[in-house]
Structure 1
Amino acid sequence: MHDRLHAPAVAAQIPMGAEDNFWGVVDLVTMTAWDFKADDKGMTYPEPMDAIPEEFIPVAEERRQMLLEAAADCDDDLMEKVLMEEEVSVEELKAAIRKGTINCQIHPVFVGSSYKNKGVQELLDAVVDYMPSPLDVPPIKGVNPETDEEEERPADPKGPFASLAFKIMTDPFVGKLTYLRVYSGSLDSGSYVLNACKDKKERIGRLLQMHSNNRVDIDSCTAGDIVAVVGLKDTSTGDTLCSEDAPIILESMEFADPVIDIAVEPKTKAEQDKMSIALQKLAEEDPTFRVSTNHETGQTIIAGMGELHLEIIVDRLLREFKVEANVGKPQVAYRERPGKEVMGAEGKFVRQSGGRGQYGHAVINMYPQEPGKGYEFENKIVGGVVPKEYIPSVDKGIQEALNSGVLAGYPVEDVRVELVDGSYHEVDSSEAAFKVAGSMAIKDALKKSNPVILEPVMNVEVETPEEYTGFVMGDIPSRRGLIQGQEQRGDAIVITAKVPLGNMFGYATDLRSGTQGRAVYTMQFDSYEPVPKNVQDEIISKAGGNA
């Protein structure tokens, strides 16, 4: 841990036994031993043994001394006692470890086995003993939606209520569960709160204290609590729930856009509704998971942050929701972007087929925007050449058309559009006609703009033994990757690179075979970047589009 993580780790426990023969721990703070031999999967709290087994005493005493010295570096009073070789009480040692943990001077390490819940109770006790409480951190900050001024909410049970919805789950028995972290004030079941992000009132149904998969009904909660709420209809992950008379919007969580998608189809028509409901529930739980429909093929498309992410989603769909579905191969979520600005692009929709006809005419200017700026629409009509009531329809038509680009049908992003001219017919014009005209105008602009296809590029970090550095350094460029640097981390070499996601499929298997399973890697989304011309032509060909 010191070498690979550069962390000031110090043992707070030592194991008795290892792997299949792991049966207990020695707590170095209290110098007691705990026996986990009872096969109850951690459902009961083990009793401490009468004494530490003799074969573990020497290493326990050595490690306790190391723990004392590390804790003493964080507390002057304890340092004096250690130097004077005086007796140190359990309370004094715990206080010093807590101080060092909060200040990130030491990281106490505990041992256990999650498979049979060995050591889990002791770990949770350590969380209470050593991790910072709400009183140890500064007050949470947010913005008052009425004044746009920054405000604070100290961890005070008597203060105005403020909480953050940080997780949503679907429970088969009680339905939708919204997990709240309460930062300030108190909350009673049956009361009403304000969703400040959506400006909607929500009624608190039941309040639940969660113990893994066990639930306990409670009447109220206060600052510092984490609770689950039943009955919230409009609250999403990242929303702020607060008092109506003291509104505040806490800093929300930011979620990246999905970069990979796959098609899923129910095996039978009877499964269609079941699958739709299941996907809707999964999307509520996970803001980085999206569900859409391909309007050309009618397929349901699910999108996520990577292969493993979608594998887990599909597994839950089959296992938890019992949906029988066929799953396609993962596809990269490409985007399109205009290559240059286009002035005076035109869309004119005229239809005459007896009786009242259809007429809509829009002229636009289109500008590429900086990455991440998104879509903007500006009405620059003067003289009423396009009546005000038709302007939103033009905007709507443009936005719908941007969902499918002209190169390969991928969504178009980072576009600013100005509606500058047009015409109308007093009898034949309608909202529907101007919506079509807006769609035609943006399609015309995109075709003239030399559009490009964008691909998701990932930040990749590979940690490998030195003897396999050559393999990794040679493999990354073959995937159109750009190596950013390398550094020594303990006995390993860490290589950082930017690699297109489309070239990372199957990388885990290739890396494992090329390094005899000794290298590991992580990756996360960095940005969307234009693809080379030859790659763009290949993508267009596969999508059946036109270059």
Structure 2
Amino acid sequence: MNENVRASTRNVAIVGPYLSGKTTLLESLLSVTGAITRKGSVRDGNTVGDSAAEARDRQMSVEVSAASTEYEGVRFTFVDCPGSVEFAQETYNALMGVDAAVVVCEPANDNNENGLRQKVLTLAPLFKFLDDWEIPHLVFINKMDRVSNNFMDMLHALKAVSKRPLVPHQYPIIQDEQLTGFIDLVSEQAYQYHSGAPADPIPLPASLKAQEQAARAEMLEELANFDDHLLEELLEEIEPPQEEILQDLKLELGADLVVPVFCGVADRDFGVRPLLEALLREAPEPQDTAQRRGLGATAETPIAQVLKTYYTPQGGKLSLVRVWQGKLTDGIVLNGTRAGGIYRLLGQQQNSINEAEAGEIVALSRLDGVKTGDTISANGQATELPKADILRPVYALAIAPEKRNDEVKLSAALTKLLEEDPSLMWEQHGDTHEVILWGQGEIHLQVALDRLRRKYNLPMGTHLPQVPYKETIRKPAASVHGRYKHQSGGHGQFGDVYLDIKPLGRGEGFNFSEKIVGGVVPKQYIPGVEVGVKEFLVHGPLGFPVVDVAVTLTNGSYHTVDSSEQAFKQAARLAMQTGMTQCEPTLLEPIASIEVNTPSEFTSKVMQLVSGRRGQILGYEGRSDWSGWDKLIAYLPQAEMQNFIVELRSLTLGVGSFQWQYHHLQEVPDKLAERVLATGSNGNGNR
């Protein structure tokens, strides 16, 4: 194994909220390192990241983009991740394969404490994921030219959503409300920014000496919590050497014990070179990450993990993989499948290479049968590496091809769509017979539908899914008579039955029995009676499947020549048609059990939201693993769930989430039932 290659590689994810400037930062990093000669912009739709048509249409990241470059002899692979919560699965999958992450955020528009709190709250789920998986990360406060925020106020606001201590690595120099440079808190050297060029060293401004000293003291005190020698030096007022501070930063960042904080303006390259230098100097090396994953430092068996799957118009399937150990060579067989080419990516540009060493992130073509998150190896026997949990879907649309002839292609296209994005799900609903596409929100599904149209020439019509209502009965009916007699020349048809119909307890389903005495209905015809009853219950008197009903065959008669199983089936249907209307049929709706996660400051609003949608709140409590967050448990009618996630995110600054599962059926309130039955709809305006 080539240790030199491993030591000269860094894999870094660029993550953060929507509109924080992640793709712009990637463009600046690629420009500074010489990978591109001219920077693009998100507005113009010509960036390396966000190169997919769906991303450019919306001017937002909708999938992971990888870009490889070199800086001072080190190969960097940057993975630009979506910021929208609806595409969080992409981000989480990619984070499992990197050595470090840069969390990009932007300051609030004023120094108002609530404004800062709201701005950083959107980072809470991301910080939680990074901390849970112990992924080393830095913070880059972007767009520092737009406002004159107090840097330390922003830093302290960020600390409220991070389990790990944040330590300032720089202090900004702001003159006349303009960001002009920064002070390196390790060396105490000040620098002046220049657009598109490295910063120049300048004397430390005397007006900032006190602030710089306070910020530096905060950095050193946090580092001293993990280094007894540094603590002793601080107590004895000994100035620690720069080399010792940098070593502490490297060790403690690599162990995910501290989070260094940088600042700048990505679209002007301000702060980008110091960030690169820190990644070069302090970010963990690939072999350290592999050891944390439990993989041997010198093992030769090639092992990799799929971080993202693409289906490209030209090259077919492309798998973005992290090589954890060994070496991938052209034509290698992984998990029994021969890989096609090996590529380094620069957005959609593919650069072919002959081999990839351990520690690299590359793309492999034609890995059929391999999905995102899968561990792949040359012997196919590697222990499965940890992967991000698949997010449960929370938003749905019923879909149908605009061209009826395209229905045969839909299943294969959806299968590929789910390979690219595991947080999508689809089903053919057994009751409503609709194809339902599930995802993380409205934009998420619209992007998926755009891909169906663009990649697979499958334009889709959509509507809100039907609510799978059921019906049941409130009272019994005894000795309901059904007779079927038909004569059409030759043998006739004759069947004659008496049925008892009664309601069962909720959730008991359907029960059929018989109490025939003296053979008045021969045994060979009784199965026909049961089939007739079941067929009727598929579409009850209110128009929906019937549940929680018991039917007993008590009497009947037959004809020795004209009776048949088919005739008794028809007789049973006639009896059910007569009897069910006597049993007071009533409409039932599915009720979901939901678990809502929200910051505590929004709990009361979320409770109002649930109650306003006919929900039944069962209780709430603080989340044991999330400080300042609550978990709300409730029952919610499925008919009220369609836009629930939209309103929940609106109430909670985009960070509220929920999980759900079907729990039980419950009678629909009379007024709503009347409306559903009168309009012949499912409550969403669809039948």
Taking structure 1 as the reference length, what is the TM-score of the superposition? 0.59
**Residues 464 and 519 of structure 1 are in contact (CA less than 8 Å); yes or no, is this contact kept in structure 2?**
no
- Structure 1, residues 13-35: CA drift from partner, whole Å, max 9, x if none? 334559x9556544433445566
Partner of 2:328: 187
Checking the alignment, whether the CA contact within 8 Å between 1:457 and 1:529 is kept in structure 2 is yes
- Equivalent residue for 1:349? none
Tell me: CA distance 1:308–1:485, structure 2 relative to 1, closer, same or farther (3 Å).
farther
Read off the aligned partner of 1:164 and give its amino acid letter: Q
- Look up the equivalent residue of 1:188 and give its one-letter code: T
Residue 532 (structure 1) aligned with residue 666 (structure 2) = yes
In structure 2, give the amino acid aligned to 1:154. G
Aligned to 2:69: none
Letter paired with 1:28: L
Q: Structure 2 CA distance, aligned partners of 1:409 and 1:25? A: 69
Contact map agreement 1:210 1:216 (CA 8 A) in 2? yes
Task: Report deviation, 1:289.
Answer: 1.4
What is residue 110 of structure 2 aligned with on the other side?
none
Deviations 1:231-268 (A, max 9, x none): 21221123221122855444555435545421334556
User: Partner of 1:154: helix, strand, or coil?
Assistant: coil
1:116-515 superposed matches below 5 A: 119=271, 122-123=274-275, 125-127=277-279, 129-136=281-288, 139=291, 153-156=295-298, 158-193=299-334, 195=335, 201-244=336-379, 247-251=382-386, 254-255=389-390, 258-265=393-400, 279-291=414-426, 300-314=435-449, 325-329=460-464, 455-463=591-599, 465=601, 470-479=604-613, 480-482=615-617, 484-485=619-620, 494-499=629-634, 500=636, 503-507=640-644
Equivalences, count: 408
In the TM superposition, residue 493 of structure 1 has moved relative to its aligned partner by 6.4
What amino acid maps onto 2:160 in structure 1? D
Shift of residue 166, structure 1, vs aligned partner = 2.6
Deviations 1:486-513 (A, max 9, x none): 5599xx9644213547545545775688
Q: Secondary structure at the match of 2:246?
A: helix
Assess if the C-alpha contact under 8 Å between 2:449 and 2:459 holds in 1: no
Q: Which has the higher contact order (CA 8 A, sep 6+)?
A: 2
Structure 1, unpaired ranges of 5+? 39-43, 142-151, 196-200, 337-400, 413-450
Comparing 76-85 with 26-35, which one deviates more in the overlay?
A: 26-35
Specify the SS of the correspondent of 1:47. Answer: strand
1:522 lines up with 2:656 in the alignment: yes
Q: Is residue 588–residue 668 contact of structure 2 (8 Å, CA) maintained in 1?
A: no
Q: CA RMSD in A?
A: 4.9
Q: Which residue of 2 aligns with 1:71?
A: 223
Segment drifting more, 259-268 vs 295-304: 295-304
Matched, 1:10 2:167: yes
Distance in 2 (alpha carbons) for counterparts of 1:251 and 1:316: 29
Residue pair 2:170, 2:263 contacting (<8 A) in 1 also: yes
Deviation at 1:229, TM superposition (A): 0.9
Change (3 A) 1:290 1:188: same
Corresponding residue of 2:198: 47
**Shift, 1:184, TM fit:** 2.1
Provide the C-alpha distance between the structure 2 equivalents of 1:233 and 1:281, rounded to a whole number of angstroms.
11
**Contact 1:463–1:520 (8 Å) recurs in 2:** no
> Structure 1 residues 100 and 187 mapped into 2: Cα distance closer, same or farther (>3 Å)?
same
Q: Which moved more, 1:180-189 or 1:77-86?
A: 77-86
Report what 1:361 is aligned to.
none
Letter in 1 for 2:323: V
* C-alpha contact (below 8 Å) 2:599/2:629 kept by paired residues: yes
Aligned residue for 1:198? Answer: none
* Residue type of the alignment partner of 1:261: A
1:186 CA drift (Å): 1.6
**One-letter identity of the residue aligned with 1:168:** T
- Offset at 1:88? 3.4
| Inter-partner Cα distance in structure 2 for 1:260 and 1:286 | 15
**Residues of 2 paired with 1:101 and 1:176: CA distance?**
36
1:160 and 1:335, CA in 2 relative to 1: closer, same or farther beyond 3 A? farther
Corresponding position of 2:566: none
Q: Distance in 2 between matches of 1:476 and 1:244?
A: 51
How far apart in 1 are the matches of 2:450 and 2:191? 37
| 8 Å contact from structure 1 (residues 262, 327) kept in 2 | yes
Task: For residue 6 of structure 1, report the CA deviation from its aligned partner.
Answer: 4.8
CA distance in 2 between counterparts of 1:455 and 1:118 reads 53
SS at match of 1:80: helix
CA gap 1:288/1:117 in 2 versus in 1, 3 angstroms: farther
| Alpha-carbon distance in structure 1 between the residues aligned to 2:639 and 2:264 | 39
Q: Which amino acid aligns with 1:462?
A: T
Q: 1:297 to 1:458 in 2, by over 3 A?
A: closer
1:76 maps to a residue whose letter is: D
Unmatched runs of 5 consecutive residues or more in structure 2? 1-157, 472-533, 548-586
* Shift in Å, 1:285: 0.4
Q: Structure 1 pair 522/300, CA: closer, same or farther in 2 (3 Å)?
A: same
Distance 1:295 1:469, change over 3 A: closer
How far 1:180 moved relative to its partner?
1.5
Q: Say whether the 8 Å CA contact 2:310–2:318 is kept in structure 1.
A: yes
